[in-house]
């Protein structure tokens, strides 16, 4: 009976260790910055790993009052580019914690 309890305590310690590692990895990821860009860096955005935009740069030559849709498309392209980079890095760093867990 006691052997079963020892195994349970060992498992709990492993889970706690994994939780600490996951939290540290998530904090590290959140602190990173990811840049996304549209064609020729006409629009560049910077996000943190927790998907907060912290910077947006638009080159003046792309601002055309006659064609606001082009600027909108460039902003969308840059934002989506950055979000894809964040997703890839998140999967790379956090995916290992999901392996072998039910539902993942």
Domain 2-97 CATH assignment equals 1.20.1260.10:
no
pLDDT interval class at 4 (50, 70, 90): low
Distance CA 51, CA 55 (A): 12
Please report which confidence band the pLDDT of residue 104 belongs to, taking 50, 70 and 90 as the band edges. very low
Amino acid 33: pLDDT? 96
Tell me if residue 68 falls in helix, strand or coil: helix
Of 3-17, 52-66, 69-83, the one with minimum mean pLDDT is 3-17
Task: Determine if the pTM surpasses 0.85.
Answer: no
Residues with Cβ within 8 Å of 96's Cβ and at least 6 positions away in sequence, in order, are none
Query: Which residue has better confidence, 86 or 98?
Result: 86
């Amino acid at each position: 009976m006691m052997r079963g309890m020892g195994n349970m305590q060992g498992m709990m310690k492993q889970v706690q260790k994994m939780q600490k590692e996951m939290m540290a990895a998530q904090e590290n990821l959140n602190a990173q910055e990811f840049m996304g860009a549209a064609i020729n860096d006409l629009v560049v955005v910077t996000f943190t790993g927790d998907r907060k935009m912290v910077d947006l740069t638009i080159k003046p030559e792309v601002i055309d009052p006659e064609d606001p849709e082009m600027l909108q498309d460039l902003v969308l392209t840059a934002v989506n580019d950055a979000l894809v980079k964040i997703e890839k890095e998140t999967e790379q760093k956090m995916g290992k914690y999901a392996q072998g867990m039910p539902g993942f």
